Amino acid sequence: MSFTLAKTERLAAILSRSPVLPVLTFSTPKAAVETAKALRDGGLMVLEITMRTPQALDALRAVVEEVEGVTVGAGTLLEPEQVQAAIAAGADFLVSPGTSSRVLAAGSEAPIPYLPGVSTPSEAMQLAERGATFAKFFPAGPAGGPAFLKALIAPLPDLHFVPTGGVDASNAQSYLSLSNVACVGGSWVAPQDAIEAGDWGRIGSLAKEAAALKAR
């Protein structure tokens, strides 16, 4: 159970495409397609579709098939079976909120890149021992925010994070200014009320603002 150099390099390339990784939840494939188009046109080319609804896999599959130019990840993976289902649906990468042994094994052995979640130094060290160089930091706000991640730069210089949870337009740049942050994840760029209302213009405007943020 380890993270190969080839998949790590692929994940690095994916995470470097946009400063913000939209974290999205959909109830219909149509909403997923239109949201993905709005985000792409606003400059956000990498998306995470959470596996939190019965329609999530259909939504992911629809975006993969119908929206050109975007890289689509499957998030909130809690079971190994979800890992396989996401791969079958066409996911480009995998994301989990934590690092349970079963999901960690399935994700690290998958043929596509995997971004596991951590919230403590011990979890981060365990990933580093397996060769991981990227981790989702979740829930970023409650777990310590930018100050926590800054404190990890010296002891874990080779590990980079994607803080998610409590990240929004008001604090995203404070994370992105850190040398160990690859990008940030958040749902503020595609609010649920905007998705439900079909307000693609609002989502596109929020995406454009987010795409203008700069990672260090």
Nearest-angstrom CA–CA distance, 92 and 62: 13
**Residue in this structure with the two tokens 């050109």, named with its chain if needed:** 68
Backbone angle region of 78, left / alpha / beta, with phi > 0 → left and psi within -120 to 50 → alpha: alpha
Kindly list the catalytic residues: 48, 136
